[in-house]
Amino acid sequence: MITKSHRKTLRRAGLIWLLISTGTANAQLPFIEESLGAPFRIRDYTFPSFLVLGFTPAPAAPLGKGHSALEFHYSIINNFQVSPTAEKYLQQTRGNHPRPLDSTDVAFILNLPQGQAYYIDGEFSILELAAHWGITDRIDLGIGINYIHYGGHFLDEVIFDFHDAVGVGQGGRNYVIDNHVQVVLGRDDGGDIVLLERPTSGGLSDPNLFLRYALPEFVPNWRSSLEIGVKAPLMNENKFLSTGSWDFGYQITIDRRFIRDAWIVNFGAVFPGKFKQTDFRPPNLPFINISWLHRFQDWTNTRSFVQALLAEHPYRAIVDSELSELQFQLTAGLKWDTSIGIVGIGLTENVLNFDNTPDIGLHFTWGILK
């Protein structure tokens, strides 16, 4: 349902669109002529954030009329977030005998004080098909369709081995078993999320639609764009493939390119609807992405990427703990121009705050421009 605040935001965006579309500054060069390319499609993959409308880092330049882009992006994400009190409880009740949560454990966690009643454990895989079309020289239309898979333990083993190798603790992972999706998120006002088993092995999630307008280039070599997005509630919310509600949002991009380097800043906000499974409405979710792209001098077909994501957690307004603090994720990766398209591999690691972001994410991408 479109609320009064949503309508007000859309009216403002429409006014901005009308004003800038009448500008007389020179249009941007089409993205098809760029040699540095676009950042990795990395968004907030924390549960349940990936069910909400998500904007990913993007360049400011338009595709150009008649051009199109197609990309498959596959991410494996490992989430393990547990409050200090819940971790201590797991240590006391399990010792050296790990086992999954049961109803007794859930009751204990839900009865903890506000800010301590959370436990998120699971590996998630997301395959995204993103397609974009240049409708005019300034306007692109895009669609993102995700397939979500719940479960897996590949990254569990990697994290265990890494923690052992560097001599740090497991943070509570050693008290539960691998290959389980279990979530306990408690709220004082009800509407808890409790999953003792994965809600589904996998399925399509809600489609995301985007309309992007390349702003006139008012300052030479500085490019910018405005993007508006909407998520339609078409899939099954009981299987956690949807929130069951419409989401709206916007993203503004500022893009500065040099001969072999580029800096891209994407910032905006998402206005999510209610999670109908739990009768919970998240607050507005601002975000910012900062990307640095570099093309090597000798290996002209190879580009490196460093991307930083800062975002708010959907549960920040109802807990008072690390789960409510600002999320900070850092991604590094490489892309190559090949005869079959643009291929890439990247790695995401949580930084500074370890209890409200995925521990690690592994990303693969393939795309083509026409």
Instruction: Give the chain's domains with CATH numbers.
Output: 4-369 (2.40.160.40)
Q: In this predicted structure, which of 188-192, 209-213, 287-291 has the lowest mean pLDDT?
A: 188-192
Residue 24 pLDDT: 39
Q: Mean pLDDT throughout 178-189? A: 78
pLDDT at 21 over 50: no
**pLDDT higher than threshold 70 for residue 351:** yes
Percent with pLDDT over 70 in the chain: 81
Residue pointed to by tokens 């579309």: 21
Per-residue confidence band for 198, with pLDDT thresholds at 50, 70 and 90: confident
What is the structure's pLDDT at 319? 55
Q: What are phi and psi of 162, to 5 degrees?
A: -65, -45
Cα–Cα distances in angstroms (integers) from residue 14 to residues 24, 45, 60, 228, 259, in the given order: 18, 30, 19, 10, 35
Q: Which residue in this structure is represented by tokens 């990427």? A: 305
**The one-letter amino acid at 283:** P
What lies within 8 Å, CB to CB, of 170 at 6+ separation is: 160, 163
Q: Does residue 250 register a pLDDT over 60?
A: yes
Question: Contact, 169 vs 82, CB < 8 A?
Answer: no
Instruction: For strands 360-369 and 68-82, give the pairing.
Output: antiparallel
Alpha-carbon distance 45 to 51, whole Å?
A: 9
pLDDT of residue 20: 44
For range 86-98, the mean pLDDT: 83
Beta strand extents in the chain (DSSP E only): 68-82, 118-134, 139-150, 182-185, 193-195, 202-204, 208-214, 222-231, 247-257, 261-271, 285-295, 302-311, 327-338, 341-350, 360-369
pLDDT band at 276 (very low <50, low <70, confident <90, very high): confident
Sign of dihedral through CA atoms 270, 276, 277, 282? positive
The mean pLDDT value of the chain amounts to 83
Residue among 308, 293, 313 at smallest CA distance from 357 = 313
Question: Which band of pLDDT confidence, cut at 50, 70 and 90, is reported for residue 26?
Answer: low
Model confidence band, residue 159 (pLDDT cutoffs 50, 70, 90): low
Other Cβ atoms within 10 Å of 369 Cβ, number: 18
Residue with the two structure tokens 């640095």: 292
Could you tell me which of 230, 218, 286, 229 has the C-alpha nearest to residue 254? 218
Q: How many CA atoms lie within 13 A of 266 on its CB side?
A: 30
Write down the pLDDT at residue 223. Answer: 93
